[in-house]
Amino acid sequence: SSSMTEFLKAAAHIEKGIQVTKARVEEMKALNNRRSVFNDREEEDKIAELRHLVNKDFAALGNDIELLDQSAKNKPQLAQHKTTRSHTEAVVSGLKATIAQAAKDFAEILQKQNKRLQEESSRRSRFESSGSVGKLRMRRRAVDGFWTRKNQATHSEQMRLQQLQQQETENKYLDRRATAI
């Protein structure tokens, strides 16, 4: 029937969206696993962009799956026959399971990234607080004109702290989203 065709086309479109999102998650994972990723501003920006896109994807895909599910339940041609109803429910459940796994993978990547940022921040603070290295750094900042107060954070440190805060917010969102799905 035309209702089933429409349903299957919509499900295929959602599946393609999920595959694009999974590819983004994998790209983010590869970038995140590089040892020097946070030393390269371009890669930091790419990770932030991917994180933003993946979050948008999850929100849109979750909404699309819910609309597909409601559509299947509200169309008499799809809801009347037991076999058809069972098939549409299986398709929707499969999409939900696929997106839930992708969300879980994404959350794991964000947790690893948070841990790496915290470790890097800890190493930096230990390195900067050591006597001679700290004095050399202070002299260099004073000479370069960047020194205004003892614990002034650099732009990249501020960006990393903002990333860390954003990732914590995103992790909470993904946990709630995975629970809902």
pTM assigned to the model: 0.65
Q: Alpha helix (H) ranges present in 130-154? A: 131-144
146 pLDDT higher than 50? no
Q: What is the pLDDT of residues 66-77, one digit of tens each?
A: 999 998 888 887
Query: DSSP label at 181?
Result: -
Q: What percent of the chain has pLDDT over 90?
A: 38
Spatial CA neighbour of 58 closest among 166, 163, 176: 176
99 pLDDT higher than 90? yes
Q: Which helix (H) or strand (E) holds 47?
A: helix 41-74
User: Which pLDDT belongs to residue 6?
Assistant: 92
Label residue 83 by pLDDT band (50, 70, 90): confident
- Record the tokens describing residue 142, joined without a space: 């004073």
The residue type at 25: V
Q: Cα–Cα distance between 36 and 46 in angstroms, integer? A: 14
Query: DSSP label at 80?
Result: S
